[in-house]
Amino acid sequence: MNNETLIKLDGVTKVFLTEDVETHALSGIHMEIRKGEFVSIAGPSGCGKSTLLSILGLLDSPTEGSYVLNSHSVQGLSLPERARIRNREIGFIFQSFNLIGDLTVFENVELPLTYRGMPAAERKAAVTEALEKVGMAHRAKHLPSQLSGGQQQRVAVARALAGRPAVLLADEPTGNLDSKNGDAVMDLLQNLHQDGATIVMVTHDARFARNAERTIHIFDGRVVEESMETDPTKD
């Protein structure tokens, strides 16, 4: 990890309006994440974790406040510009894997690179490298239905990695897995972090949150505490 700031939020607030009701999902969030850092965002269900991750992933915009990603403000960007940055700068790992059932493992990992317009030979090399990193190269021709939940999540991690994003955003990546597969996915994220990846992970599981170097605790849409893990590799 270095001291260069990758993500900076200043006074980020998110208000949802439904009829006459205002719901304050986030209230005045200030946050900095450095390149190469592994950060977990923890808190109870409904506290604003997923809303925060959606804003970090440019899937949603704050009602107030500023967001700077990789030294560039993302305020006021058009939808196509936001989509382009998502495709190139952000890798998503979802709880539900979100693999396309009628595409092979290789094709699932390749798809975002196709949208990017990457040449075929370059795509093949990137996909192969990503699948090898997560230990799934031998399943490249399989369909998602032929894989276990843990294997599907590994493919989802490979898909997020293949484009070499600036940051990996993981939304409850162990939520649909048993404890053994959950531990295996966390070990994989730890290895990626040790190789230099920047990871922001939302979790409600304190055991998995401790895998990160730093945990940001959210409650009722506010940062209430930050804690550092002195030895994030320990059991």
pLDDT for the residue 3: 79
Q: pLDDT at residue 228 above 90?
A: no
Mean of the pLDDT values across residues 76-88? 91
pTM of the model: 0.89
pLDDT at position 95 over 80: yes
Q: What is the pLDDT of residue 135?
A: 93
Computed over every residue of the chain, the mean pLDDT equals 91
Query: Quick check: 89 pLDDT over 80?
Result: yes
> Which range has highest mean pLDDT (70-74, 92-96, 101-105)?
101-105
142 or 179: which leads in pLDDT: 142
Inter-helix orientation angle 105-116/79-89, to 10°: 130
- Residue 6 to residues 23, 72, 73, 198, Cα–Cα distance (Å): 29, 10, 11, 9
Looking at residue 129, its pLDDT comes to: 94
Question: Residues 135-168: pLDDT tens digits?
Answer: 999 999 999 999 999 999 999 999 999 999 999 9
Helix (H, G, I), strand (E, B) or coil at 73: strand
pLDDT given at position 209 = 86
Q: What is the layout of strands, in order, in the sheet containing 64-69?
A: 21-34, 5-18, 64-69, 72-73
Cα Rg for the chain, rounded, in angstroms? Answer: 18
Spatial CA neighbour of 100 closest among 151, 137, 152, 61:
152
CATH number of 36-61+78-228: 3.40.50.300
> Over 90: is that where the pLDDT of 229 sits?
no
For the record, the structure tokens of 182 come out as 């959950």
C-alpha 204 chain-centroid distance: 15
- Quick one: pLDDT band at residue 232, thresholds 50, 70, 90? very low
| Residues contacting residue 74 through CB under 8 Å, at least 6 positions apart | 58, 67, 68, 82, 85
pLDDT value of residue 211: 87
